[in-house]
Amino acid sequence: MTAAPARLRIDRAALTANWRALRDRAAVACGAAVKADGYGLGAVEVVRTLAAAGCRDFFVATWHEAEALAGLGVPVSVLHGVRDEDMPAAMSGIARPVLNTPIQVARWKAAGGGACDVMVDTGMNRLGVSPDEVRTGLLEGLSIDTLMSHLACADQDSPMNAAQRSRFAALQGVTTARRMSLANSAAIARGRDYAFDLVRPGLALYGGVPCDALAGAIAQVVTPEAQILQRRTVRAGETVGYNATWTATTDTEVAIINLGYADGYFRGFSDRGSAAGGTLPVIGRVSMDLVALDVSAAAALAEGDWVAIDFDLRAAAGISGMSQYELLTGLGSRVERCWQ
Ligand SMILES: *Cc1c(COP(=O)(O)O)cnc(C)c1O
């Protein structure tokens, strides 16, 4: 196949280092959330990399995602549990369901399903059975590997964190679950109290920094790169791009690169993004397939050359108005994933 004119450079060593840093901070077993195709990096390669480092717990959202990992020989949990439609895949044993509702629990019991995980809702009111349902015996008869819950506000200082933590801790010993798990990336930074037996980071593995406490501990993993399609001189007074939002105040060297919002370089980067360590500012609107850079600082850059887009996730989220999660999962399929 023809090489794509845009690629995502993925730093395998940084991914592994981030997993180790999170595991060491939590000081308990450390899994990995690899839903949404490994947050856009490619779940199969993420799993291969982290399994080689010793990771033994992987989390996806759906059975379709679990099927993509079958054959890698690693334990996978499916966060959305089991619908009727999922039962053939679930009974085939490729992964464990995370049961979220009394109906899912009944479905799993009726089918004589084996090991499972269970999500308890401790206050987020998204997914999970209630602590009362757990106390009144809903889970009796299940073979539970991991009892888990999820924090609504892990990335901010909120009284909800301690409240959810204590509701969860109160369930210790109430079920036959082998392990308890509460913490995503941000919750790992809240301290050992939040770690229980297993932590489940996603974002921070991939270079996201959800809170100040993790700044400095997490390395950048992904860098989009794009090829220059045309270099031109834009004369003073001329404009660049859709709706002519950018006007040259002086003769300006401009490079048009093979990247746009259809690739996940969203319109929020218009006039605000940059490449090559801040030396090449984005000018004008980001188009579907193209971005214009002011390359006055780079006399040697020519048609066909590659430029690296500035993509420190925290900074990129700040300037684009997107979340770090959206920036990762929005990276498009035209951008070739290149593991290094
Ligand atoms: C996505 C997810 C995680 C990982 O969260 P991050 O914020 O990306 O670290 C952990 N647990 C559950 C239940 C999730 O849905």
Query: What is the number of the ligand 1 atom nearest to the C-alpha of 185?
Result: 9
The segment(s) of the chain belonging to CATH 2.40.37.10 are 222-311
pLDDT (0 to 100) of residue 34: 99
- Strand, helix or coil at 119? strand
Q: How far apart are CA 98 and CA 145, in angstroms?
A: 10
pLDDT tens per residue across span 214-273: 999 999 999 999 999 999 999 999 999 999 999 999 999 999 999 999 999 999 999 999
Delimiting residues of CATH 3.20.20.10 domain(s) in the chain: 12-209
- Distance separating alpha carbons of residues 100 and 81, to the nearest angstrom: 6
Q: Over the stretch 282-335, which tens digit does the pLDDT of each residue have? A: 999 999 999 999 999 999 999 999 999 999 999 999 999 999 999 999 999 999
Query: What atom in ligand 1 is closest to the CA of residue 33?
Result: 4
Atom index in ligand 1 nearest the CA of residue 203 equals 8
| CA 150–ligand 1 middle distance (angstroms) | 8
Catalytic member of 39, 109, 242, 265: 242
Q: DSSP label at 239?
A: E
* HEC letters along 139-160: CCCCCEEEEECCCCCCCCCCHH
What are the CA-CA distances from residue 338 to residues 4, 15, 41 (Å)? 11, 14, 9
| Third-level CATH fold of 222-311 | Lyase, Ornithine Decarboxylase; Chain A, domain 1 (2.40.37)
User: Which protein residues are within 6 Å of ligand 1, measured from CB?
Assistant: 33, 35, 79, 150, 184-185, 200-204
Ligand 1 centroid, distance to 185 Cα (angstroms): 7
Ligand 1 atom with the shortest distance to the CA of 210: 7
243 CA to middle of ligand 1, Å?
39
Does residue 109 carry a catalytic annotation? no
pLDDT tens-place string over residues 174-208: 999 999 999 999 999 999 999 999 999 999 999 99
Whole-number pLDDT of residue 60:
98
Based on the residue annotation, tell me whether 261 is a catalytic residue of this protein. no
Question: What tokens appear for 78 in the block?
Answer: 């499916």
In terms of Cα–Cα distance, which of 146, 144, 161 is closest to 197?
Answer: 146
Query: Residue with the nearest Cα to atom 6 of ligand 1?
Result: 202
CA of 91 to the centre of ligand 1 (A): 25
Distance 200 CA to ligand 1 centre (A): 6
Helix locations, 85-143, DSSP H: 87-91, 102-110, 131-135
Pocket test residue of 200, 214, 326 for ligand 1, highest count of atoms within 8 A of CB: 200
Question: 59, 99, 211: which to mutate for ligand 1, most atoms within 8 A of CB?
Answer: 59
Number of Cβ within 10 Å of residue 156's Cβ equals 11
Q: Under CATH, domain 12-209 is a member of which superfamily?
A: Alanine racemase (3.20.20.10)
Residue 205 Cα to ligand 1 middle (Å): 11
Write down the catalytic residue from 35, 206, 261, 265.
35
**Pairing, β 96-99 against β 76-78:** parallel
Does the pLDDT value for residue 1 go beyond 90? no
Q: Residue 245 and residue 236: Cα distance in Å, rounded?
A: 14
Atom of ligand 1 nearest to the CA of 201: 9
Residue 288, annotated ligand binder? yes
Mutate to test the pocket of ligand 1, among 23, 58, 79 (most ligand atoms within 8 A of CB): 79
What pLDDT, in 10s, does the model give residues 6-58?
999 999 999 999 999 999 999 999 999 999 999 999 999 999 999 999 999 99
pLDDT per residue over 104-139, tens digit each? 999 999 999 999 999 999 999 999 999 999 999 999
Query: How large is the C-alpha radius of gyration of the chain?
Result: 23
Tokens coding 148: 């888990």
Asked if 66 and 82 count as a contact pair (C-beta separation under 8 A), the reply is: no
